[in-house]
Amino acid sequence: MKIGCADVDGHNWPNLCLMKLSAYHKGRGDTVEMWRPEGWYDLVYKSRVFTDTYSKDNIYIANADQIIRGGTGYGPGPDLLDVVEHQRPDYSLYPQFPDTAYGFLTRGCPRACGFCIVSDKEGRRSHQVADLSEFWDGQREIKLLDANLLACPDHERLILQLAESRAYVDFSQGLDIRLTTPDNIALLNRVRTKAVHFAWDDPNVDLTGYFRRFVELTAIKSDRRRRVYVLTNYGSTHEQDLYRVDTLRGLGFDPYVMVYDRPSAPPITRHLQRWVNNKRIFHTVRDFADYAPAKRLRENPI
């Protein structure tokens, strides 16, 4: 069989599901490639992670006997078969991302945040689903996709696996700052960390003490490598958004503004995102009130 893989979200980040499907089909002797409009396919897997709010499905496939669509961007659907889920990903499907491993050690999250689908999709308990060896085979870098690793009862053993790999680890989806302890921070200090991500999503919960303790105990000295997602346009005021940004910078973290349902966000929130996320501007213009677009908005409010 000739199999095509269509990544609707684009190629800024490899699609783990497609890589596992590719490995599975190649193991059965099938030919697999990224889908192209030329030629004919017996089967095309069309996968997307994001909804129309963040990426449009502009791929029309007319050259396949069968098309299977999947991923959270298409709504709830069946999970991968167990035999596919536990395939080592076919990294050759994305040669533009060399020497990097992608995968999950755990699934699920107990937080059940209203803006996040993880708890509904994967369960309200963080549980181990793999050892590191299932998706890492000596690559220099590991991008970990877990939603809440520290909520897993086995997280210390899993962090030790990451430390012993000696690969550079990017906790890309964030660690739960509320679940950090002196013990697991000591273990994290043994990991060759390319970047550690946290989140401060709820402006009504003061996380200052947790962030301050982490800075005191972590071996990561660069604030550029201590990153925090700041959720905006989800029940917060501009003042609450700016407070979290300023507080995090003052504590030695690098904030990164995420805008929920960006098309509905007010102009001030979009300006805040540009100011914070463009690091050249953020480190040059220290006060948001001095940021030119914000000044113009104050002078000419909509």
pLDDT digits (tens, 9 = 90+) for 204-252: 999 999 999 999 999 998 999 999 999 999 999 999 999 999 999 999 9
- Calpha distance 172→142 (Å, rounded): 10
User: What's the pLDDT tens digit per position in 54-108?
Assistant: 778 889 999 999 999 998 888 777 788 999 999 999 999 999 999 999 999 999 9
Mean pLDDT, range 31-37, rounded to an integer = 97
Q: What pLDDT, on the 0 to 100 scale, is given for residue 128?
A: 97
The token pair at 204 is: 């009504």
Per-residue confidence band for 167, with pLDDT thresholds at 50, 70 and 90: very high
Number of neighbouring beta carbons within 10 Å of residue 23: 18
Checking if the pLDDT of 299 tops 70, the result is: no
How many CA atoms lie less than 13 Å away from 237 in the CB half-sphere? 4
Q: What percent of the chain has pLDDT over 70?
A: 97
Q: Are 256 and 282 in contact (CB under 8 A)?
A: no
Q: What pLDDT, on the 0 to 100 scale, is given for residue 57?
A: 87
Per-residue confidence band for 114, with pLDDT thresholds at 50, 70 and 90: confident
Checking if the pLDDT of 302 tops 60, the result is: no
Mean pLDDT, range 273-284, rounded to an integer = 95
Q: Are 64 and 36 in contact (CB under 8 A)?
A: no
How many CA atoms lie less than 13 Å away from 94 in the CB half-sphere? 23
Report helix, strand or coil for 174. Answer: coil
